[in-house]
Amino acid sequence: MRVNTDFLHLINRIEEGHLYTQQECEFLLSFPETSLEASITRGVADRLSREKFGNKGLIFGQIGVEVAPCGGRCRFCSFSDEFTTFTPHSLSDEELLQKADDFCSSGELNALALMVLHNTSFERTLSVISKVRERIPASTQIMINMGDFSLSQAEELKAAGADGSYHVWRLGEGTDTIFTKEQRFATIENIKKSGLDLYYCCEPIGPEHTPAQMAEQILKGVEYECFQHGAMRRVFVPHSSLAHLGVISELRLAQITGVVTMAAIHSPEITSIGVHEPNKLGITSGANAIYAETGSNPRDTKSETTGSHGLTIEACKQMYRECGFEL
Q: For residues 236 and 147, give the distance between their C-alpha atoms in angstroms, rounded to a whole number.
A: 23
Please list, residue by residue across 213-236, b when 16 or more beta carbons sit within 10 angstroms of its beta carbon and e when fewer do.
Answer: bbbbbbbbbbebebbbbbbbbbbe
For every residue of 153-169, DSSP letters joined together read: HHHHHHHHT--EEE---
Task: Give least dist CB 86 to ligand SF4, A.
Answer: 11
Of positions 61, 64, 72, 230, contacts ligand SF4 by CB under 6 A: 72
Dist. CA 2–CA 4, nearest whole Å:
7
Nearer to ligand SF4 by Cβ, of 136 and 143: the residue is: 143
- Spatial CA neighbour of 247 closest among 292, 196, 208, 197: 208
Among the listed residues 118, 184, 192, 276, the single contact to ligand SF4 using CB under 6 A: 118
Judged by beta carbon, residue 230 or residue 298, the one nearer ligand SF4 is 298
Only segment of 17-25, 73-81, 187-195, 229-237 that touches ligand SF4 (CB under 6 A): 73-81
Comparing C-alpha atoms, which of 112, 198, 114, 119 is closest to residue 154? 198
Burial of 189 (0-12, 13-18, 19+ CB in 10 A): middle
Distance of CA 139 to the CA centre of its chain: 21
Q: How many angstroms separate the CA atoms of 122 and 139, rounded?
A: 25
Question: Interface with ligand SF4 includes 204 (CB under 6 A)?
Answer: no
Binding residue count for ligand SF4, defined by CB under 6 A = 11
Site mask for ligand SF4 (CB under 6 A), range 124-163, x = bound: -----------------------x----------------
Q: Which of 31, 53, 60, 79 binds ligand SF4 (CB under 6 A)?
A: 79
Stretch that binds ligand SF4, among 70-78, 216-224, 226-234, 260-268 (CB under 6 A): 70-78
Residue number, 42 or 118, with CB nearest to ligand SF4:
118
Cα gap 231→294, rounded to integer Å:
20
Question: Does 286 contact ligand SF4 by CB under 6 A?
Answer: no
65 lies in the site for ligand SF4, by CB under 6 A: no
Residue from 74, 196, 254, 319 binding ligand SF4 (CB under 6 A): 74
Residue 172 engages ligand SF4 in binding (rule: CB under 6 A): no
Choosing from 48, 117, 253, 254, the residue that interacts with ligand SF4 (CB under 6 A) is: 117
The answer to whether 259 contacts ligand SF4 (rule: CB under 6 A) is: no
Question: In this chain, which stretch among 3-11, 69-77, 212-220, 277-285 interacts with ligand SF4, using CB under 6 A?
Answer: 69-77
Instruction: Tell me how far, at minimum, the Cβ of 178 lies from ligand SF4, in Å.
Output: 8
**Binds ligand SF4 by CB under 6 A, chosen from 39, 62, 80, 187:** 80
Give the number of other Cβ atoms within 10 Å of residue 305's Cβ.
Answer: 23
- Classify residue 34 as exposed, middle or buried by CB count within 10 Å of its CB (0-12, 13-18, 19+): exposed
140 to 52, 65, 124, 188, 228: CA distances (angstroms):
22, 18, 21, 23, 16
- Using Cβ positions, the residue closest to ligand SF4 within the complex turns out to be 72
Select 65 or 259, whichever has its Cβ closest to ligand SF4: 65
Q: Which whole-number Å values give the CA distances from 225 to 107, 191, 217, 269, 297, in the listed order?
A: 28, 11, 13, 6, 27
Binding region for ligand SF4 (CB under 6 A): 70, 72-74, 77, 79-80, 117-118, 147, 298
